[in-house]
Amino acid sequence: MQYQDAEEMGREEKETPLATYKAINKEAAERQNKLERQMEQMGKMLSKLLEN
């Protein structure tokens, strides 16, 4: 997308609601937590396998 000037570009940025950014951030944090839990579980399983 081409902007006529910096002011137009700034307006476009301001039009994106903060709630949108917060929702994206929350979703990313939830995904990160899920991945960390999965890695932890995999680590425990690996430890058990190596013990035997």
- Asked if 12 and 3 touch (Cβ cutoff 8 Å), the reply is yes
Enter the pTM of the model: 0.57
Per DSSP, the residues of 2-50 read --SSHHHHHHHHHHS-HHHHHHHHHHHHHHHHHHHHHHHHHHHHHHHHH
Q: pLDDT digit of tens for each residue in the chain (52 aa)?
A: 565 666 666 666 667 788 899 999 999 999 999 999 999 999 999 999 999 7
Number of structural domains (the chain) is 1
The neighbour count for residue 42, using CB atoms within 10 Å, is 10
User: 15 lies in a domain?
Assistant: no
pLDDT of amino acid 35: 97
User: 34 lies in a domain?
Assistant: yes
Cα–Cα distance between 45 and 38 in angstroms, integer? 11
Q: Which domain holds residue 31?
A: 24-52
pLDDT of amino acid 31: 97
Longest dimension (CA), the chain: 67
User: 10 lies in a domain?
Assistant: no
pLDDT of amino acid 8: 67
pLDDT of amino acid 17: 85
User: 49 lies in a domain?
Assistant: yes
